């Protein structure tokens, strides 16, 4: 891999250094542990942690205002790779569970709903598993989201209102969550395996971003790369999930892989969009080379290039 490009990544935030060495250069375990530990003391990680209030929350509440609330700050810290043992994050996770746990076994932060919200439950499940919150209710969250799987293989938080087609956004959030549950518990139940296979097929049937009926792009915003993604789906986030799981080759990935390659500019990938909302600070600037997007693109392509040449997408 291009040494100059790797050095550019390694000149970035500790979270970038950690993930680049973990995913691109295969550094020793002790070096990785030391780098990951630095995320809580330097750079973006330290800055986010500094905004935690005495209550243990961020932004004054659990889910809103977006994007400075407890929920979304923890989501960003998780994606940065903050150590799972960080006590500030664990305290925030416990607050999310205590304030959001609902009698139906999911998470509901909304007075307007009389049931848990599937997407928020999935994201909360991911956080609780990543930060190793050992509570029986975590299993209930997992069961809640699995129970909401739809006939077409995915999930949709609007299913309670009659939605008959799964949502890309909710489906990916659930897949990320059950993957983290699997890693926390060092096992994979048959129910999770079956749900995952059906959900992968749902996304692949749509080539990750196309209508399965017309072949048209479902939403152009899915083809633009942001970080952090919040709850929003895009193909870089989706492919990053598939590479982390080391999913076998399927030609239906090719449209998305082509798009990743097409977006490269001088060996780097730009930050193409931000999701409007409040922020504590900007990590990167729109329209400028993004270390986080470049890191993610490179590990996606590294995964893809491991496939036998005859199975890769033809140009």
pLDDT means per 10 residues in the chain (315 residues)? 91 98 93 97 98 98 98 98 98 98 98 97 98 96 98 96 96 98 86 96 98 96 97 98 95 97 96 97 98 98 82 65
Residue with tokens 């049937």: 205
Rounded CA-CA distance 64/131 in Å is 21
Rounded CA-CA distance 116/108 in Å is 4
Task: Please report, for the chain, the start and end positions of each structural domain, with discontinuous segments joined by +.
Answer: 45-311
Rounded CA-CA distance 278/73 in Å is 11
The three-point CA angle 42-43-46 to 5° equals 60
Q: And the tokens for 294? A: 């470049």
Rounded CA-CA distance 12/289 in Å is 12
Helix spans in 118-250 (H): 118-130, 136-147, 168-185, 190-205, 235-245
Q: And the tokens for 12? A: 């970035």
Q: Which residues contact 247 (CB under 8 A, 6 or more apart)?
A: 200
Rounded CA-CA distance 232/292 in Å is 16
Asked if 166 contacts 121 with a C-beta cutoff of 8 angstroms, the reply is no
pTM attached to this predicted model: 0.96
pLDDT given for residue 202 in this prediction? 98
Candidates 135, 231, 130; CA nearest to 180 is 130
Residue with tokens 């077409």: 152
Q: How far is CA 98 from CA 54, 91, 173, 230, 232, in A?
A: 17, 11, 21, 22, 25
The three-point CA angle 10-41-52 to 5° equals 125
Please name the CATH architecture into which domain 45-311 falls.
Alpha/alpha barrel (1.50)
Collapsed DSSP state (helix, strand, coil) of residue 296 = helix
Rounded CA-CA distance 47/52 in Å is 10
Candidates 36, 52, 126; CA nearest to 92 is 52
Rounded CA-CA distance 304/284 in Å is 26
The β-bridge partners of 285 are: none
pLDDT given for residue 314 in this prediction? 65
pLDDT given for residue 185 in this prediction? 86
Rounded CA-CA distance 80/109 in Å is 25
Rounded CA-CA distance 82/126 in Å is 14
Q: Where are the beta strands (DSSP E) in the chain?
A: none
């Amino acid at each position: 891999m291009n040494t100059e490009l790797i050095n550019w990544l390694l000149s970035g935030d500790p979270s970038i250094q950690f993930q680049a060495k973990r995913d691109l250069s295969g550094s020793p375990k002790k070096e990785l542990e030391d780098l990951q530990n630095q995320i809580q003391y330097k750079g973006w990680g330290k800055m986010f942690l500094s905004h935690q209030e005495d209550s243990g929350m961020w932004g004054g509440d659990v889910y809103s205002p977006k994007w400075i609330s407890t929920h979304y700050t923890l989501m960003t810290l998780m994606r940065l790779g903050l150590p799972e043992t960080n006590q500030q994050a664990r305290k925030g996770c416990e607050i999310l569970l205590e304030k959001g746990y609902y009698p139906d076994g999911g998470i509901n932060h909304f007075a307007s709903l009389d049931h848990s919200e599937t997407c928020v439950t999935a994201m909360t499940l991911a956080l609780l598993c990543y930060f190793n919150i050992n509570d029986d209710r975590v299993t209930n969250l997992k069961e809640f989201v699995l129970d909401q799987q739809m006939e077409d293989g995915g999930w949709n938080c609007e299913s309670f209102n009659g939605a008959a087609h799964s949502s890309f956004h909710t489906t990916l959030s659930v897949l990320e969550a059950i993957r983290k549950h699997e890693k926390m518990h060092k096992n994979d139940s048959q129910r999770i395996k079956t749900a995952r296979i059906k959900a992968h097929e749902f996304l692949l049937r749509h080539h990750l971003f196309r209508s399965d009926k017309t072949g048209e792009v479902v939403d152009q915003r899915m083809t633009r790369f942001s970080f952090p993604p919040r709850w929003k789906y895009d193909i870089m986030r989706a492919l990053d999930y598939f590479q982390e799981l080391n999913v076998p080759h399927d030609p239906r990935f090719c449209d998305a892989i082509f798009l990743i390659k097409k977006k490269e500019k001088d060996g780097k990938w730009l930050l193409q969009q931000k999701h409007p909302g409040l922020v504590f600070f900007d990590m990167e600037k729109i329209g400028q080379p993004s270390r986080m997007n470049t890191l993610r693109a490179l590990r996606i392509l590294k995964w893809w290039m491991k496939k036998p040449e005859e199975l890769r997408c033809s140009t």
